[in-house]
Structure 1
Amino acid sequence: MKKLLYFLRPYKNKLLLMIGLLFIQVMGTLYIPTLTADIVNNGIVTGDLDHVWKTGGFMLLTAVVTAVFSVLGTYTSTYISTGMGCDIRGALFRRAQEFSINDFNRFGAASLITRSTNDVTQIQVAFSIIVEMLLPAPFMTIAGLILAFSKNRLLAFTILGFMIAIIVFVVMMGKKVIPIFDSLQVLLDKINRTVRESIIGVRVIRAFNRTGYEKMRTDKTFQEYAATAIKANKIFAVMIPFVMVLMNVCTLVIIWVGGSQVARGGMEIGDIMAIIEYAMLTLMYLLMGVAVFIFIPRAQICANRITEVLENRPEPAASIVQISEGEADAAVEFRNVTFRYTGAEEVVLQDINFTVEKGKTTAVIGSTGSGKSTIACLLMRFYDIENGNILIDGKDVREYPQEELRDKIGYVPQKAFLFSGTIADNLRHGKKDATEKEMYHAVKTAQIDDFITNLEKGLESPVSQAGSNFSGGQKQRLSIARALIRKPEIFIFDDSFSALDFKTDARLRKALKQDVSESAVIIVAQRISTILDADQIIVLDEGKIVGKGTHKELLENCPVYQQIARSQMSEEELA
């Protein structure tokens, strides 16, 4: 929790203002019982109506002023808590953007969603409760007791006794409810994960008629959360009425003992009324203050979860072996690269060696699971290698700042993804200041210009979330255009032509040759027709390079490539 106080620094002036407003509110609240006693003792008992009207008017003015300062204090605390929540969510988002895939998988999407939403909300609620209930509680309690002692010691000690009883009882209940709050946050992660899986996999669920099973699984998660929440609420359902009973018993004792003293002439009736109000204010603020200590552990749990994300640093780069200069024309070079996923026993890639030259195209092909897409991920440094070196312009990728590395690469992922907005917005993800001319040139190269020009709004046509209003081929071509518009040094097309028909594929590759003639191009593919014209083809099998050369060369000397070719091409095409 202390580490999140950093986010309060921009609001320190507002904090001082809020504390001042709360102080005035407490002073006004405590002054009203004193005025009540004055009205009764010096106005009603003596029959002085002028004094009653005069003091009553002043009491009304005090109440109005106290209410105004109370509203201003609440507004200020809400402004601070909302601003702090916004800043924390922004920090969480920026930190998550720096995560490696392993870091992201360690937390999980569901947990990161909960930490960015509910956990931050709990921090905001805790802050508001602390400043509005806990901060005034000590002053209100001490000042109320002092005023009570000034009226009658015996009754003041009675109030003190009930205060101790309430504190002991609330602390005992708190020990039971704190572990439940911890479980609630974990179960909330589970709810997010379950619902997210059901939404993402809705087509598969319906296709395999598993709606009933998913409903049962989701209901079970909801029921677990509900049962835990009900358990916590049952404790509060017992605690609050019991404390109210103690407060009412305290009032009865004050009336009984005070009435006896009034009958003996030991104190005045107005003083009893004042002490009753002091007791209610003191015990109520004490109850609120102690209740805050029950909510603080839940906020502490949320704060720890948030801090865990904020303090997480991207995976440290493995030790970089001293390397000799790369080839002069080599844009990308893999040297003895070995990689395995975290926790895996078997390596995914082993002793990978190849060079991608500027102005040339290198294709990577192989069966499913051979490690083709992993090569693209390693080059983007989504993961760090176990052994060897990956060089860009003769420099190890682990020596590049992340932003500089990504600026050098135009990446089109295996699964095309579009953001909600417009077509132009999506293209500008590749280049922020792209002109309309540059955008039309990119979409023309990507073979989607005819489709866009036929749309009523052209480049300003709307795009639904994830591009759901476009076909797979249209999304792929827009993703390619987004990469092309950057004009980077290196292009990576990770099976980015799979949704295109052969005719469009051929036209696109022909246009690409002219547009990316000065860049190094890496194409990860499963279709041989996509890579026929590549300057170099790398054939992978079970994480190892089993062939390297042109299409013609591999047909002659690589059995794995021959097998892939026979499965996709006719005998005439092979000949």
Structure 2
Amino acid sequence: MLKRFYVYMEKYKMYAVLSCLCVAFETLFELIIPMIMADIIDVGVANGDQAYILERGLQMVFCAGISLVLGIGYARFAALCGQGLGAELRKAEYRKIQEFSFSNTDKFSTSSLVTRLTSDVTLIQNAVSNGIRPLIRAPLMMVTGMILSFLLNAKLALVFFVAAPTLGICLWLVIRKVRPLYTRMQSAIDLVNRMIQENLTAIRVVKAYVREDYEKVKFAQVNQELKSISEKSFRTAVLNMPAMQLVMYTTIICILWFGGKLIFAGEMQVGELTGFLSYVLQILNSLMMISNVFLMLTRAMASGKRILDVLDEEIDLKEDPEATGEIKAGEIEFRNVSFKYKKEGKKYVLSNVSFHIEPGQTVGIIGGTGSAKSTLVQLIPRLYDVTEGEILIDQIPVKQYPLKHLREAVAMVLQKNTLFTGTIADNLRWGKEDASEEELMKACRMACADEFLLQMKDGLSSQVEQGGVNLSGGQKQRLCIARALLKRPRILILDDSTSAVDTATEAKIREALQNSLADTTKIIIAQRITSVMHADQILIMEDGKLNDCGTHEELLQRNEIYQEIYYSQQEGCGL
């Protein structure tokens, strides 16, 4: 796993190397200090030589100063390396998500993807920024400290052969228990983020139904779950520290006990024991640092796996690299098309659908809720790929068109009207980046959006708040239609996109589309028959199948479903 992340640190290798060198030399200078201190006690203090004490003391200050400078250098280079890796991971994840098809996106919840882009990446970059120092310093200090300890007194240094394995066993037991808890903790964060996202997105519904208390209870449950898992994780992780301290202090007591005996026996000097204790503390601290690094890496690896799940997700909607087709007319043909969202699923959402649309025709699609009307049109620009059968545009299978060209030639206004934070002009220019103000207003007139734009103080420069909450449903629908019209598409799909517009305005929009986009193939999904009765042909969907196809007059004469919808709406109008 670590090798996989190394690729994303390619630009920052130099900073990683420099930070490692800073830590290595800083450690070496720090290790020299106990030796100098031992000389000061055994030579300078023992002989009362003040000049020697001053000389060796200045050497200690010099070593400490160099260590300080190297420590500052490490902090800078490690931060650049860690933050750079985090930026590259977020970039790679975001780029991969942009390549996802609708099927790929369906495998991850929005809240989970947000957590993987933020919290999980932060854990990785912090592990690098804070982990390089102990990862380099601890082994170097431990090995060097042990060598110098054996040089000072080999008999006393044998205590490490008991202390080191004991610490290793304690660390292994802690990591074994805490690793699965860290994975569960990140999943619990996903749930908390999902709850917050759902509540904020639907806050008006919550207020309207006075469900604040219910939402508080729901949030309290997931929040308590996160709290419980986090407490259990950290309760287990912190056992590492007391275990380390127990071993460390036991080791120090043993060394003082045996060292004192060696001093009384004349086999060791006081200065040697003082220096030895300094090395002991450094060695045991290095072991504690190693244990903390392992705990940090354990949590980072749990997050790393979640990041790799996104990066390794196989894109199920692939583009032929040699595709060069170009849509010119907008003729559409479905040939025995069947579709299901998951390949392993048993039930087909669409079954054996076949129909033909001539270039420039207006086609209406109606049917009950859940009859797969929206799914049907999403197959045209390959937001999903068909499971069986084939879709052709201008007699060429859609898979033979470059995705970018296919989706530029097909404009869709989806059921959910999405506007982005910024000005109205910025939102409209999603349809055409270099559109002039005149082109923007022309599209708005066709979509009847000019009616409310002219009443706004700033017109096209008016701000759209997040999600377009400062606009009504009908205003958002008309702006989304205007945005689609700016593309000048060969195929225009309106997925129930005038449901919040009154019938008079809808008639104006329909007339404008007919006059200005006569050569464009238009597909209109609607609940109201009045929205599609003037279409060249009307498709009736029922339970994922094409029930019938014909003009308004033909269907009104022969089709029971169409008759039922038509007369029920006529009665509704009479009421």
TM-score (norm 1): 0.92
The corresponding residue for 1:145 is 146
2:444 is equivalent to residue 430 of structure 1 = no
Q: Which residues of 2 match residues 356-505 of structure 1 at below 5 A?
A: 356-505=357-506
What SS class does the counterpart of residue 569 from structure 1 fall into?
helix
CA contact (8 A) 1:331 1:392 kept: yes
Deviations 1:469-501 (A, max 9, x none): 100011001111111111121111101111111
Matched to 2:566, the amino acid is A
Q: Which residue of 1 aligns with 2:296?
A: 295
Write the deviation string for residues 242-277 of structure 1: whole angstroms up to 9, x where unpaired.
322322232233333333333443333222221111
- Asked whether the equivalents of residues 41 and 269 of structure 1 are also in contact (C-alpha less than 8 Å), the reply is yes
Contact 1:349–1:544 (CA<8 Å) still a contact in 2? yes
The alpha-carbon deviation at position 145 of structure 1 amounts to 0.6
| Change in CA separation of 1:270 and 1:460 when aligned onto 2, cut-off 3 Å | farther
User: 1:310-329, aligned counterparts within 5 Å?
Assistant: 310-315=311-316
- Report if aligned partners of 1:547, 1:561 keep a CA contact under 8 Å in 2: no
- Deviation of 1:307 after TM superposition, in Å, equals 1.1
Q: Deviations over 1:268-310 (max 9, x none)?
A: 3222221111111111111111232233232222222211211
- Quote the residue 1:335 is aligned against: 335
> 1:410–1:490: 8 Å Cα contact kept in structure 2?
yes
CA deviation after TM superposition for structure 1 residue 193, in Å: 2.7
Percent identity reads 36
Secondary structure class of the residue paired with 2:62: helix
Give the Cα separation in 2 of the matches to 1:542 and 1:172: 56
How many angstroms apart in 2 are the aligned matches of 1:566 and 1:344?
A: 37
- C-alpha distance in structure 1 between counterparts of 2:169 and 2:385, whole Å: 55
What's 2:168 paired with? 167
Structure 2 residue ranges without an equivalent (≥5)? none
Q: CA deviation at 1:391?
A: 1.0
1:559 equivalent to 2:560? Answer yes
The one-letter amino acid paired with 2:416 is K
C-alpha distance after superposition, 1:530-572 (max 9, x if no partner):
2233222222233333332332333233332222221223699
Q: Is the 8 A contact 1:318 1:384 kept in 2?
A: no
Distance 2:387 2:481 in 1: 31
Query: Which residue is equivalent to 1:239?
Result: 240
Matches of 2:277 and 2:515, distance apart in 1? 89
Deviation (angstroms), 1:170:
1.8
Identify unmatched segments of 5+ residues in structure 1. 320-324
Greater alpha carbon shift after TM alignment, 110-119 vs 273-282? 110-119
> For residues 22-41 of structure 1, what are the structure 2 equivalents within 5 Å?
22-41=23-42
Alpha-carbon displacement from aligned partner over 1:447-473 (angstroms, at most 9, x marks no partner): 112422332322222111111110001
Distance 1:487 1:522 in 2: 15
- Report the AA paired with residue 162 of structure 1: A
Q: Does structure 2 retain, via aligned residues, the 8 Å contact 1:330–1:355? A: no
Tell me how far apart the structure 2 counterparts of residues 256 and 386 of structure 1 sit (CA, whole Å).
78
**Secondary structure, counterpart of 1:45 in structure 2:** helix
Q: Residues 446 and 316 from structure 1, CA distance in 2 versus in 1: closer, same or farther, beyond 3 angstroms?
A: closer
Q: Deviations over 1:21-66 (max 9, x none)?
A: 1111111221121222222223222222222222222222221221
Partner of 1:322: none
Could you say what secondary structure the match of 2:239 adopts?
helix
- Does the 8 Å contact 1:317/1:384 carry over to 2? no
Q: CA deviation at 1:345?
A: 4.2
Aligned to 2:43: 42
1:243-258 → structure 2 map (5 Å cutoff): 243-258=244-259
User: Distance between the aligned counterparts of 1:112 and 1:101, measured in 2?
Assistant: 14
Distance change in 2, residues 1:143/1:317 (3 Å): closer
Distance 1:385 1:29 in 2: 66
1:198 shift after superposition: 3.2
1:107 aligned counterpart, secondary structure = coil
Superposed CA RMSD in Å reads: 2.6
Q: 1:64 to 1:566 in 2, by over 3 A?
A: same
Deviation at 1:329, TM superposition (A): 5.4
Q: Which residue of 2 aligns with 1:540?
A: 541
| Equivalent-residue separation in structure 2 for 1:32 and 1:199 (angstroms) | 58
Please tell me the residue identity of whatever aligns with 1:30.
L
Q: Is the 8 A contact 1:494 1:524 kept in 2?
A: yes
Query: In structure 2, the residue corresponding to 1:540 is in which secondary structure?
Result: strand
Name the CA distance, whole Å, in 1 between partners of 2:189 and 2:375.
33
The whole-number CA distance in structure 2 between the counterparts of 1:198 and 1:33 is 60
CA distance in 1, matches of 2:233, 2:513: 63
* Distance in 2, Cα, partners of 1:386 & 1:392: 17
Q: Deviations over 1:1-20 (max 9, x none)?
A: 22222101111222221222
Match of 1:185 in 2: 186
The number of residues matched between the two structures is: 568
- 1:135 counterpart letter in structure 2: I
Q: Which moved more, 1:465-474 or 1:340-349?
A: 340-349
Are residues 403 and 446 of structure 1, via their aligned partners in 2, closer, same or farther at CA, if it must alter by over 3 Å? Answer: same
Per mean C-alpha deviation after superposition, the further-off stretch among 539-548 and 493-502 is 539-548
Code of the aligned partner of 2:418: F
